[in-house]
């Protein structure tokens, strides 16, 4: 069933979104090669109150989890909870890829500042990548 409320993405955007998510499935938290990852799109109709930010309507998931989302299905509330808990950096990168700029004076409504602080100082310097595992 075609859904015109889904975000349209170019293959280049899809690739960048997977990289922004550090190639980790947002449902099972495993690391996958790009070709095993899919962009799951959530219809705007299910997401009315957050429609301005397109990054809240996509999920990066592996092939298997993507089937689960559609076949079980994974409830929309759970999908949204996962998206809400996305790290500040991934959210920021995804917004950039999707061309969404939040208004500069807008107070962050769903970002926990102490979490950002911990995440920032927990990271290794000089852009090193995550320890594999």
User: Smallest distance from the beta carbon of 124 to Zn ion, in angstroms?
Assistant: 25
Binding span for Zn ion by CB under 5 A among 7-15, 37-45, 104-112, 113-121: 37-45
Site residues (CB under 5 A) for Zn ion, limited to 38-57: 40
User: Smallest distance from the beta carbon of 89 to Zn ion, in angstroms?
Assistant: 20
Site residues (CB under 5 A) for Zn ion, limited to 81-100: none
Contacts of 57 (CB under 8 A, 6+ apart): 6, 7, 41, 42, 43, 44, 47, 50, 51
Q: Single out the residue of 21, 37, 42, 65 in contact with Zn ion (rule: CB under 5 A).
A: 65
Count of CB atoms situated within 10 Å of the CB of 88: 15
User: Smallest distance from the beta carbon of 59 to Zn ion, in angstroms?
Assistant: 8
User: Smallest distance from the beta carbon of 117 to Zn ion, in angstroms?
Assistant: 29
Whether 108 and 88 have beta carbons less than 8 Å apart is answered as no
Report CA-CA distances (Å) from 111 to 83, 84, 88, 89, 116: 12, 9, 7, 11, 8
Residue 55 and residue 43: Cα distance in Å, rounded? 12
27 binds Zn ion (CB under 5 A): yes
- Can you give the binding site for Zn ion, defined by CB under 5 A? 25, 27-28, 40, 62, 65
């Amino acid at each position: 069933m075609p859904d015109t409320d889904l975000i349209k993405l170019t293959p280049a955007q899809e690739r960048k979104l997977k990289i922004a998510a550090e190639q980790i499935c947002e449902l099972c938290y495993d690391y996958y090669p790009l070709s095993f990852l899919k962009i799951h799109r959530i219809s705007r109709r299910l997401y009315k109150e957050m429609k301005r930010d397109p990054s809240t309507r996509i999920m990066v998931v592996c092939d298997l989890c993507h089937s689960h989302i559609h076949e079980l299905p994974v409830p929309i509330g759970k999908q949204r909870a996962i998206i809400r808990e996305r790290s500040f950096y991934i959210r920021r990168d995804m917004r950039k890829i999707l061309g969404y700029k939040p208004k500069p004076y807008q107070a962050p409504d769903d970002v926990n500042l102490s979490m950002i602080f911990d995440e920032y100082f927990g990271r290794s310097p000089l852009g090193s990548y995550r320890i594999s595992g």
